[in-house]
Structure 1
Amino acid sequence: MVDRDPITWPGGRKVAVHLGLNVEHFRFGRPSTSIWPGTAELTPDALNHGWRDYGSRVGIWRVIESLDRHGVRPSVLLNSSVVEAHPQIVAAGIERDWTWLAHGRTNSELHTDLSIDEERRVLAEITDTIFSATGRSPRGWMGPGLTETHRTPELLAELGYSYVLDWTHDDQPFPLTIPGMFSVPYSVELNDLLLFGKGLTGPDFLQMVIDSYEQLCADSATSGRVLPIALHPFVIGQPFRLRYLDDALAYLAAQPDAWLTTTDEIVDAYRAQIER
């Protein structure tokens, strides 16, 4: 980072903030993200499947109300199977002009162990499904569980993608070795699924957002930074947590140096500067 040319954000803002909203679909009877591993291998696994399913049935609608209240457009990490399973969510996002990223087919399957021909076919199917439902081809990718193969960025570039979120090791975008492909920051630290799974509380989440913003704002004295906040409706959409997301958005919206934006806009602003 210290060897890079400085980057700036539109309007002289110092910190680009994006909300990575994971809108996912989980196959019934398949083990996946679990709140209680003790039943994860059972069929049916009512405990864990129900916990995950709460996000699409209830939690997402609370999150949408909070986003609307503060005028925030999320960067939606969309499992393509959501298109058929939860069309109401896709319709709500189209109405609000959300930014759509591909997030694999389902979070019940990791994006691994694919032959090159199979991966090319799977990626094309995911892309076509999202385009057919939203009218837009996704430009960004994040694999289920942040998984890729060694060929994924190259195959994505063939399909017109320009960035991935799987590499969580920077506070700025940067070019990949595949021409025209970039990495955009995402977080496995400021991530509701992992934070609350460790026993942190809503007030802890709010304080972490504030602390992250303040530190990145201080760092931006030399070059602009990115603050990614990763959200899952079945976690942050729980009734006892939503108010802290609302408070965090209110805080960020009030900061004069915060650019509340999307991953598409971040990569466009970054590319325009490095290609000048």
Structure 2
Amino acid sequence: MTEAAHGRYRYSALPSRPVYDWPGGRRLAVYVALNLETFAFGEGLGAELAPGGPQPDVLNYSWRDWGNRVGVFRLLDLFAELSLPVAVLANSRLHADCPGLMEAVRRYGETHPVEIVAHGRSNAERQGDLDEAAERELIADATQALAREEGRAPTGWLGPWISQSRVTPDLLSEAGYDYLLDWAHDDQPVRFATRDGRGILSVPYPQELNDIPAVIARGHTAREFARMIRDGFAEMRTASRAAPLVMGIALHPYIVGQPHRLRPLRRALAGIVEHRKTIWLTTPGAIARHVATLPEGILPG
């Protein structure tokens, strides 16, 4: 298969691209993505701490539910201590399933930058399994619910389980979205072609510095995951001298909100915050807005 198989962007080698800056002349943009997700009891998809038994899989369901009842608040406390901007990747059914949780996020947003990114309805389903009409309905449902509850429509999207169909970028552009996070193919934003001619921006999202693949799929310890964050940050700071880069860190409360994982994460994030004067601590939406101000032809696509 060639690049024409998806038709979204052309091949572009990072060293051959134009160089630009993030705000303040900085070269490394860093964002934290806090994934807030809800799951169906006794059915549907869900990450597993241990191999699940027959439904209802109480072991894994309750482990995930702990994240929304306990872990998320510990993470918000940590972020407040470090004065971190946060991108909250939210399932739209959180408002009904976890009353008060998104209100806590709003309170955090009163003193710190917070962006709400649409993350589907629930992580019990994958949108890539749906036909086009059903996927369009899923996007509309999630968008309308978040706009109603949060007072504004989200501008960015991450599919539940990083799942896309062949037409997902088209449907998101047609629904008014400015950017998506599903593709992990670059360290810079990339412009995607869409069938409506509007286009949509792909902002880098981490699949390596992401606690589900790292801790759950590959079995890294909390300290190993924290070391990955520290080493990744140090290397990207060096690499960003030559080109502007985006570094994301994806976190799930039911994983890194656990006390034994929170402590190493605390040290890793504190080490990043020490460099806040020379990096751009931000959100993916702010990255998309800055990119929109750049001259035509700067971005790969």
* TM bucket normalised to smaller: over 0.9
The match for 1:235 is 255
What is the identity, as a one-letter code, of the residue corresponding to 1:36? A
Q: 1:267 aligns with which of 288, 291, 298?
A: 288
The match for 1:195 is 214
| Cα distance in structure 1, aligned partners of 2:25 and 2:263 | 30
| Cα distance in structure 1, aligned partners of 2:129 and 2:63 | 28
Of the structure 1 ranges 198-207 and 127-136, higher mean CA displacement relative to structure 2 is found in: 198-207
Q: Is the 8 A contact 1:7 1:270 kept in 2?
A: no
Q: 1:89 aligns with which of 101, 111, 119?
A: 101
| Cα distance in structure 2, aligned partners of 1:247 and 1:269 | 30
Matched, 1:33 2:53: no
| Cα distance in structure 2, aligned partners of 1:114 and 1:25 | 19
Q: 2:75 aligns with which of 63, 79, 94?
A: 63
SS at match of 1:37: coil
Q: Deviations over 1:143-192 (max 9, x none)?
A: 11100111111111122111111101111111001234111111111111
| Cα distance in structure 1, aligned partners of 2:226 and 2:137 | 41
What is the identity, as a one-letter code, of the residue corresponding to 2:103? A
Task: Provide the TM-score with structure 2 as the length reference.
Answer: 0.87
Q: Deviations over 1:236-273 (max 9, x none)?
A: 00011112222122111111322110000011112211
Q: Is the 8 A contact 1:73 1:96 kept in 2?
A: no
Q: Deviations over 1:11-62 (max 9, x none)?
A: 12221011111100000012421112242xx121111111111100110010
Of the structure 1 ranges 224-233 and 264-273, higher mean CA displacement relative to structure 2 is found in: 264-273
Q: Is the 8 A contact 2:76 2:108 kept in 1?
A: no
SS at match of 2:41: coil
Q: Deviations over 1:71-110 (max 9, x none)?
A: 1121111111112111312101122222011111111101
The match for 2:28 is 15
What is the identity, as a one-letter code, of the residue corresponding to 2:51? P
Q: 1:221 aligns with which of 225, 237, 241?
A: 241
What is the identity, as a one-letter code, of the residue corresponding to 1:147? S
The match for 2:279 is 258
The match for 1:46 is 58
Taking only aligned residues, the RMSD between alpha carbons, in angstroms, comes to 1.5
Of the structure 1 ranges 264-273 and 200-209, higher mean CA displacement relative to structure 2 is found in: 200-209
Q: Which runs of 5+ in 2 are unaligned?
A: 1-13
| Cα distance in structure 2, aligned partners of 1:92 and 1:6 | 39
| Cα distance in structure 1, aligned partners of 2:168 and 2:219 | 34
| Cα distance in structure 2, aligned partners of 1:108 and 1:114 | 13
| Cα distance in structure 1, aligned partners of 2:17 and 2:142 | 35
What is the identity, as a one-letter code, of the residue corresponding to 1:68? A
The match for 1:157 is 173
Q: Is the 8 A contact 1:161 1:181 kept in 2?
A: yes
* Residues 98-247 of structure 1 mapped to structure 2, 5 A cutoff: 98-178=114-194, 179-197=198-216, 198-247=218-267
| Cα distance in structure 2, aligned partners of 1:76 and 1:103 | 9
